[in-house]
Chains A and B, each alone.
Chain A
């Protein structure tokens, strides 16, 4: 079974430029997550999709970040314009399902390799 794919793996840009990251989740996984992980910190959830609908984007800086999952499969996260503090690893994860009926192994998240962003 193929894992979560992300591209690019590395990106260096200057502040005020724009950048986009792509994620393709594990086939059949309905839930897709984007995390920001700053060095020395735990992953911070930016946005969570269930199919093509947004479940949680409360921590997404909407003035500069946007994300979409138009067909309920792959997803794109964009930053425009980038700031120095956006330097981080951007992780995409997917899970089979995230429902409300009770705990389930289907909630297990599988992570992609991440994209390392450096903003100069």
Chain B
């Protein structure tokens, strides 16, 4: 069973701090990695996608991918209370067209 694992949290950070969210995956055939944000009672919305090893930055968000370690992370700089949500890691395994979501990490940004 291919797995995507995340710490369920909650992860509490003060406003203005850097929040670091982590995700590990078991399938070495995985090629595409996504971070979704889900507010309580709402549907997931895409934050970042990453396909190659290294860092990808978009505004206050940075995704990091290390395929050798099977590890993907999301950094949120200058965290705001509006960033408080559950962050879902999703992994697409191309060969068998499998899509797997992690259980999500709940982030709380304290004003």
A91 neighbours in B (Cβ, 8 Å)? 43-44
Decide if A81 is an interface residue (CB 8 Å cutoff): no
**Contact among B44, B92, B101 for A44, CB-based, below 8 A:** B101
Find out whether the CB atom of B31 lies under 8 angstroms from the CB atom of A109. Answer: no
Query: How many A-B residue contacts, CB cutoff 8 Å?
Result: 62
| 83-120 of chain A: CB within 8 A of chain B | 91, 98, 100, 102-105, 107-114
Complex Cα distance, B46 from A43, in Å, reads 14
Complex Cα distance, B45 from A35, in Å, reads 14
Known: A42-B102, A45-B100, A114-B43. Is A102-B49 also a contact (CB below 8 A)?
Answer: no
Complex Cα distance, B94 from A55, in Å, reads 12
Shortest Cβ gap from A20 to chain B (Å): 20
Find out whether the CB atom of A48 lies under 8 angstroms from the CB atom of B97. Answer: yes
Decide if B68 is an interface residue (CB 8 Å cutoff): no
Find out whether the CB atom of B94 lies under 8 angstroms from the CB atom of A102. Answer: yes
B46 neighbours in A (Cβ, 8 Å)? 108-110
Find out whether the CB atom of A103 lies under 8 angstroms from the CB atom of B31. Answer: yes
Find out whether the CB atom of B34 lies under 8 angstroms from the CB atom of A100. Answer: no
Shortest Cβ gap from A37 to chain B (Å): 9
Find out whether the CB atom of A56 lies under 8 angstroms from the CB atom of B97. Answer: yes
Complex Cα distance, B102 from A112, in Å, reads 19
Encode contact with A along B31-56: 1 for CB under 8 Å, 0 otherwise: 11010000000111110010100000
B-side interface residues toward A, CB under 8 Å? 4, 6, 8, 31-32, 34, 42-46, 49, 51, 88, 90, 92, 94-104
A-side interface residues toward B, CB under 8 Å? 33, 35, 40-45, 48, 50, 55-56, 91, 98, 100, 102-105, 107-114
